[in-house]
Amino acid sequence: MPKKAAEQNKKNSTLLIVESPAKAKTIERYLGKGYSVAASIGHLIDLPKSRMAIDIDKDFEPEYITVRGKAKILKELSQKASKVDHILLASDNDREGEAISFHLKSFLEKKNTKAKIERIIFNEITPAAIREAILKPLEIDSGKVNAQKARRVLDRIVGYRLSPLLWKKVKNGLSAGRVQSVALRLICEREKEVEDFTPEEYWTLEAELKKDKHHFAAQLVQYSGAKPVLPDSKSVELLKEKLIGKDFIVREIKKAEKKSQPRAPYTTSKLQQDSANRLGFTSRKTMQIAQQLYEGINIGSGRVGLITYMRTDSTRISIQALTEVRQFIGENYPDDLPANPINYSPAKRSQDAHEAIRPTYSSYTPDYVKEYLTKDQLRLYTLIWERFISSQMKNSVSETTTADIECGEALFRASMTRVKEKGYQKVLKILASKEKSEKIPELKQGDSLVLSEYKSEQHFTQGPSRFTDASIVKMLEEKEIGRPSTYAPIISLLLDRHYVSRKNRQLVPTQLGKIIYELLVNSFNDILDVNFTAEMERKLDDVEINNENWVGMIQDFYKPFNKKVEHVMETLESIKGALDEKTEYVCENCGKPMVKKLGRFGYFLACSGFPECKNTKSVPLAECPRPGCDGMIVARKKQGGKSKEFYGCTNYPECDFISHSKPTSKKCPVCGYFMVEKYDKARGTYYSCSNHECKNSMEAEEE
């Protein structure tokens, strides 16, 4: 190529840098000649992991370094930057994304990059959104950068001051985080409520009645003008005796119409809640799949970003999206298109930086894209699509008919609901209501009914429920703890640190979690206070909009916190070794007993003769069922990556027995293999034989 042509080509060239390779691949096909797209793959410059790296005496200035393993990426980006005359930083439009752009710009400028460096932001990965963003470049938002810096410094100070305290007083390798510890507090306090609750017995009474050939049920709702009190079966029988010979007469028929409004498009927390409740997804899984849908899926004609940015607290949608969805509804559900668009008020603390989570194209129905998506991608996309389309449709209208039926001093009630106008519910499948209404015959005041039989049922009062992914996210949002981007990581960290375990989708604090909670609450109650944490989040928001100086904010926090840490370090009694459990296993090296310990990657067996004997091994979960094998079944993971845990024999490779379900100490009474723990929605937790040829299973409570 002639020199002049090469110079001209460089002059017109632009490098666009995003965070992920998948996003880069999608965007690249939208841009014409003169554009190249590269990925930073997250943060390239950050605090080191090996030390605090905060200069307390110099306004808490952080010491940034190249993230380990990212030097090669930085070098490649620098080389690409030297060959263009324009650089567009297109990391995510949030605090973390702004910090990534800031650090990239600073790095490239230090490398004497001659190219003009600008910031662009977009909420969806579509050709129109990308082109519009390129036409409206911005400066780096210093408020967002400072808010991210303040949050990073604050969390680093708390983590690097509390963790050594836990190492000294509880056990090595523990860690404590500012927001995660508050979430742990919520889970532990809920667990205490669950444990302290004493259920009380009560009974309900139902009358199965008949009019002509129609049978229906009516519930006892009053006796002698008051709510019935039936604490036991004896009280039920006494009441039934009092009603002997009394006629069932319809006293009143009431009909009430109810309008049900559609719900707003998804925010991050609401998506995680519905995904957990409707699909059984963890918060982490929800965000991973949403990220895939956002960054782009190949739908035959090319890669397309199917949803807007998935970390948001806003219910706002763009004018363009609103126009498109109303056009879609008008063409497909013309009778259910409101005369005017529906507006949804933002939450009290919404930053409104992004739109709500919605499909990028209303016309991309779940049926249209299903052949290109995995099962889980399709289910989550369907959830998002249904919620968005329905949000701009008419109300549904239902009519409830209630019949009050007298029998002596008792009042029984039967009700039936029917949908008169489906409205927005026409598009709902996954999100459709699962409630079913019993039918009652046509009744009028004064009708005499025939009693077929009484049905009584024993109940127990229900105490507070343990948190699930859905309910803890809801609580964090209500208490103003964390941000949309942090809900899933908070839960994951608590699980990864073994402070919390997940049982039947419920979050249950472990013994270690309870110990950490007690220690932190007793010593740092103010820092773990929900209101204090929410106030810190509000201050970070103020830093972002330049209403708060981040250095002053950290200074106000640090002095009393540091003083408290030093006091607790000196005065708190050590409980090291309290978590170690004695076992029946003996060390094959020295003959001393093995103890069960908790390490960074879970429980393991260690010789009690440490440090003289450093023997360790996995915790045996069951005896290997293979004939002639004397091995034990232990938890394993494939080397490299984040592979799923499985269970194999200690005599591998001689014995290749594998189970993908967790073994228990119970043996199958039919074939002698060990039983594994399984769970499904219908049965809950149950035990199933690990022998594929044996179909035996039993309920978890059976011994």
Query: Active-site residue numbers?
Result: 309
Burial class (CB in 10 A: 0-12, 13-18, 19+), 666: middle
Which residues make beta-bridge pairs with 599?
602
Q: For residue 546, how many other CB atoms are within 10 A of its CB? A: 13
Whole-angstrom Cα distance, residue 250 to residue 406?
6
Task: Measure the CA–CA gap between 597 and 578, rounded to whole angstroms.
Answer: 10
Burial call 284-313: b when 16+ CB within 10 Å, e when fewer: bbbbebbbbbbbbbeeeeebbbbbbbbbbb
Distance CA 497, CA 180 (A): 11
In this structure, what DSSP letter does residue 573 have? P
Cα–Cα distances in angstroms (integers) from residue 304 to residues 25, 55, 294, 364, 433, in the given order = 10, 45, 8, 11, 31
Tokens of 535: 């106030």
Separation between Cα atoms, residue 83 and residue 37, nearest integer Å: 13
CB 649 within 8 A of CB 626: yes
Measured CA to CA, the distance from residue 49 to residue 47 in angstroms comes to 6
Q: How far apart are CA 488 and CA 286, in angstroms?
A: 9
- Residues 441, 213: Cα–Cα separation, whole Å: 9
| Nearest of 403, 390, 33 to residue 217 by alpha carbon | 403
Retrieve residue 516's tokens: 């950490």
Residue 464 has a CB neighbour count (10 Å cut-off) of 13
Burial letters 153-182, b for 16+ CB under 10 A, else e: bbebbbbbbbeebbeebbbeebbbbbbbbb
- Spatial separation of the C-alpha atoms in residues 95 and 353, rounded to whole Å: 10
Cα Rg of the chain, angstroms = 31
Residues in contact with 273: Cβ distance below 8 Å, sequence separation at least 6, in sequence order: 470, 471, 473, 474
Residue 271: half-sphere exposure toward Cβ, Cα within 13 Å = 39
Distances (CA, A) of 395 to 329, 365, 425, 626, 650: 14, 21, 8, 62, 61
Residue by residue, DSSP assigns 370-434 as: GGGS-HHHHHHHHHHHHHHHHTTSPPEEEEEEEEEEEETTEEEEEEEEEEEE-GGGGG-STTS--
Neighbours of 247 (CB within 10 A): 12
Residue the block writes with tokens 């990556």: 641
Q: Measured between alpha carbons, how far is 91 from 104 in angstroms, rounded to an integer?
A: 10
Provide the CA 226 distance to its chain's centre, in angstroms: 43
Coil/strand/helix, residue 237 = helix
Structure tokens at 468: 């699930």
